[in-house]
Amino acid sequence: MKNPDKSISFTPATEAARRYQAVRFLNSINEFEQLLPDIGREAAFAGRSNAGKSSALNLLTGQRQLARVSKTPGRTQMINFFEVEPDRYLVDLPGYGYAQVPEAIRRHWGALLERYLRERQALRGLLLLMDIRHPLTKLDQQMLDCCIARELPAHILLTKADKLSRGAAGSVLQQMRKPLKASYPQATAQLFSARTGQGVEEAHARLDEWLGYANTVFDSN
């Protein structure tokens, strides 16, 4: 699909865009004990392998190569921390659901992810990314269950919205709102495309809220 808006995504037109453009890679960890002290605020990016987490992080920070994007699923294999400023972080989590990862490694990541989600007090919100063509899988629902268990806010990005027509993408979003309302009333959702820049401002607003840059409560449902 043609991309007439490509320049928008790298122009810091808003205060939030300028803020996230200053984000820098901090470190990668693969053991819970390697985490920084549990203070400050973090917003994490989660989702199935290949859902577009790293691409979203790059678009939201206006940096093409901050996080590594790959055609090969399972590329992000560590928990990667990115600093907005001291005590304010974005966190790229390893993707789940990729069958080719050896069982032992999958178990290690599963346990690390679960412990991070359950115990990390600095974690203020979860951006849950789903390919718009495969939304709300069983594993995605498990992530939302984790959020409910500790009353962690969740916001869903339906990624790769450019793969569908405007109308079709809108109707996936509408259809998803029904089960969300029934089972996960706290969760909100929006369309997103790392290719066209669709949905950046809405996602920034959510991150701002969680990281303490906004005073107002976001309401997208």
Ligand X SMILES: Nc1nc2c(ncn2[C@@H]2O[C@H](COP(=O)(O)OP(=O)(O)OP(=O)(O)O)[C@@H](O)[C@H]2O)c(=O)[nH]1
Sequence-distant contacts of 168-176: CB under 8 A, at least 24 apart: 169/132, 172/132, 172/135, 176/135, 176/136
The interface region with ligand X, picked from 2-10, 33-41, 154-162, 203-211 by CB under 6 A, is 154-162
CA neighbours within 13 Å on the CB side: how many for 213?
19
Rounded to a whole number of angstroms, the minimum distance from the CB of residue 53 to Mg ion is 5
CA 144 to chain centre: 13
Q: Taking CB within 5 to 8 Å according to partner kind, which of Mg ion, ligand X, none is near residue 204?
A: none
Q: CA dist 178 to 86, 189, 190, Å?
A: 39, 11, 14
Q: Taking CB within 5 to 8 Å according to partner kind, which of ligand X, Mg ion, none is near residue 203?
A: none
Residue 8, SS3 per DSSP:
helix
Amino acid at the residue 57: L
Q: Taking CB within 5 to 8 Å according to partner kind, which of ligand X, Mg ion, none is near residue 193?
A: ligand X
Q: Taking CB within 5 to 8 Å according to partner kind, which of Mg ion, ligand X, none is near residue 198?
A: none
The interface region with ligand X, picked from 28-36, 50-58, 171-179, 205-213 by CB under 6 A, is 50-58
- Site residues, ligand X (CB under 6 A): 47, 49-55, 69-71, 73-76, 95, 159-160, 162-163, 193-195
